[in-house]
A and B are shown apart, each in its own frame.
Chain A
Amino acid sequence: MVDAIAIRWHGRGGQGTVTACKVFAEACLSDGHYVQAFPEYGPERAGAPIKAYNRVNTKPLRGHYPVLRPDIVVVVDATLLDCIDVTEGAPDEAAFIVNCNPAKCGDLRAKIKAKPSQRVIAVDATHISLATLGRPMPNAPLIGTVTRVSGMLSLQAVLEDIQTNFGKKFSEKVTQGNLEATRRGYEEGVSL
Chain B
Amino acid sequence: MTKMVAATGNEAIAHAMRLAKVDVCSAYPITPATEIMQRFTAFAADGEVQTEVLLAESEHSAMSACIGAAAAGGRVATATSSQGLALMWEMLPIASGQRLPIVMAVCNRAISAPVNIGCDHSDSMGTRDCGWIQLYSENGQEAFDNMLMAFRIAEHPEIRMPVMVCQDGFITSHSIANIQWLEADAAATFVGSYRASNPLLDIQRPASYGQLALSDTYMEYRKAHEATMGKVPGVLREVAAEFKAVSGRAYDLFESYRLEDAEIGIVVLNSAAGTTKDIIDRYRDRGIKAGLLKPRLYRPFPYDEVAQALKHLKALAVLDRSDSFGGSFGPLYLDIAGALSTCAQRPVMINKIFGLGGRDYMPEQGEHVLDELIQIAKGAPVKAAKEYIGVRG
Which residues of A does B touch, CB under 8 Å?
22, 25-26, 29, 34-39, 41-43, 60-66, 68
Q: Tell me if B389 counts as interface (CB < 8 A to partner A).
A: no
Q: Tell me if B363 counts as interface (CB < 8 A to partner A).
A: yes
Residue of B nearest to A39 (CB): B174
Q: Is A22 touching B363 in the complex (CB atoms < 8 A)?
A: no
Q: Is A62 touching B176 in the complex (CB atoms < 8 A)?
A: no
Residues of B within 8 A of A62 (CB): 274-275, 277-278
From the candidates A29, A38, A60, name the one contacting B175 in the complex (CB within 8 A): A38
Residue of B nearest to A63 (CB): B275
Q: A29-B178, A41-B118, A41-B358 are in contact. Are A65 and B6 (CB under 8 A)?
A: no
Residues of B within 8 A of A65 (CB): 275, 360-363
> Could you pull out 21 A-B pairs where Cβ atoms are within 8 angstroms?
A29-B5, A35-B6, A36-B176, A38-B174, A38-B175, A39-B174, A41-B118, A41-B174, A41-B358, A43-B117, A60-B178, A62-B278, A64-B139, A64-B172, A64-B175, A64-B271, A64-B361, A65-B275, A65-B361, A65-B362, A66-B360
Q: Tell me if B272 counts as interface (CB < 8 A to partner A).
A: yes
Instruction: Name the distance in Å between A43's Cβ and chain B's nearest Cβ.
Output: 8
Closest 5 CB pairs of A and B: A62-B274, A38-B175, A64-B271, A37-B176, A41-B170
Residues of A within 8 A of B362 (CB): 65, 68
Residue of B nearest to A30 (CB): B6
Cα(A130)–Cα(B21), bound, Å: 45
Instruction: Name the distance in Å between B370's Cβ and chain A's nearest Cβ.
Output: 15
Q: Tell me if B4 counts as interface (CB < 8 A to partner A).
A: yes
Q: Is A35 touching B274 in the complex (CB atoms < 8 A)?
A: no
Residues of A within 8 A of B271 (CB): 64
Cα(A101)–Cα(B195), bound, Å: 65
From the candidates A29, A38, A39, name the one contacting B4 in the complex (CB within 8 A): A29
Cα(A35)–Cα(B118), bound, Å: 23
Instruction: Name the distance in Å between B31's Cβ and chain A's nearest Cβ.
Output: 9
| Inter-chain pairs besides A37-B6, A41-B171, 11 sampled, C-beta below 8 Å | A22-B6, A35-B176, A41-B358, A62-B275, A62-B278, A64-B168, A64-B172, A64-B271, A64-B361, A65-B275, A68-B362
